[in-house]
Amino acid sequence: MQKKTLTSKAGTAGHFAIDNAAALMCVVLILYNALFTKNFVQINSLWNLIAQTTSLMFVTMGMTLVISAGCTDLSVGAIMAISSSICGEYIVSGGNQAAAIFLALGISLVCGLINGTLVARYKLQPLVAMLVARMVYRAAAQIYTSGIARNVSSSIGAFIAQKRLFSFRLPVIVIPMILVIFLTWFIAKKTSFGKHVEAVGNNQRTAYLCGISVAGTIVAVYLFSSVLAGFGGLIELFRSGATDANTIGLDYEMSAIAAVTIGGTSMRGGKARIYGSIAGALLMTLITMTVNFSNITYQMANILKGVVIVFALALHSIERS
């Protein structure tokens, strides 16, 4: 009896570690930086970590619903480039800043509609369709800007990216991130659409027989993902004060997928783990910050993120077995 109890406790601890792998790895990296990185344990360091996660968090929230529906979206980084390029070029040409933002988000919405239509209407494999979309969207952004990086001066952007509030210096940029996290959680957990997404991810045939519009659900999650990627591109534009179609959003799809998978949402679809995705996005940023603090090359951060993806998939395989 005692042996069975110990085995049960070990199993419970194992499931807890798997379910909270991203959060536990965040704790490890925070402790590491607290011990070995000078001035890391300061309120400004905390805000900088969260502020640097903002654009990735937007992309990760959209990716969470896409993966929950049993699909994937490799075009999000390229959509970030398109969104930032359109907004930046419009502002540089003397256009209204608010109009530039809405135009950029509108184009992002069109990209999402194309993505969803390719997968839901024409039945292309999500991986193949999104690889094509990724190449086309990035190339379109580079053609639109002639591959030239431009400095962009924006009062709206300066307020969002640089303004701090209250005595504890809360960055304004954190507020939209909190709102989008809450919106994604509400959609996934409190609406019938969230239940439809999970049902489609679990089994499209069963969802169809239950009266759920499989195609409509898939198109909707791609629309959601693309608009949030568009927002992420705008945040990167405002934070950097420049638009560069060659680099903005580069490799963000990998970081977002890593964040979602290590956060506990299965690549096969099903239940969306919003809290896990939040921890996963923070983990991806912590990896990059830790590499920078340690004077290790940027490529090493990508290697570590790739290892995280494999580690997450291995954990889920263990859990299923």
pLDDT at 321: 57
The model's pTM is: 0.92
Instruction: Give per-residue pLDDT as tens, 18-32.
Output: 778 889 899 988 998
Averaged confidence pLDDT in the chain: 90
Q: 143 versus 164: which is more confidently predicted?
A: 143
Per-residue pLDDT at 94 exceeds 60: yes
Q: 29: closest CA among 316, 312, 294, 319?
A: 294
Who's near 21: CB < 8 A, 6+ residues apart? Answer: 262, 264, 311, 312, 315
CB neighbours (10 Å) of residue 293? 14
Instruction: Give per-residue pLDDT as tens, 156-185.
Output: 888 887 788 877 788 889 999 999 999 999
Kind and range of the H or E element at 150? strand 150-151
Who's near 132: CB < 8 A, 6+ residues apart? Answer: 118
- 11 — pLDDT class (breaks 50, 70, 90): low
- Mean pLDDT score, 222-247: 96
- Mean pLDDT score, 233-248: 94
pLDDT at 293: 82
- Say how far apart CA 29 and CA 23 lie, in whole Å: 10
- Say how far apart CA 69 and CA 62 lie, in whole Å: 11
Per-residue pLDDT at 71 exceeds 70: yes
Q: 304 versus 12: which is more confidently predicted?
A: 304
Helix (H, G, I), strand (E, B) or coil at 129: helix
pLDDT at 78: 98
Per-residue pLDDT at 39 exceeds 70: yes
Instruction: Give per-residue pLDDT as tens, 272-292.
Output: 999 999 999 999 999 988 888
- 245 — pLDDT class (breaks 50, 70, 90): very high
- Mean pLDDT score, 224-248: 95
CA distances in angstroms from 161 to 52, 156, 233, listed in the order given: 10, 9, 13
Q: 84: closest CA among 212, 190, 240?
A: 240
- 265 — pLDDT class (breaks 50, 70, 90): very high
| Residue 164, burial from CB neighbour count under 10 angstroms (0-12, 13-18, 19+) | middle
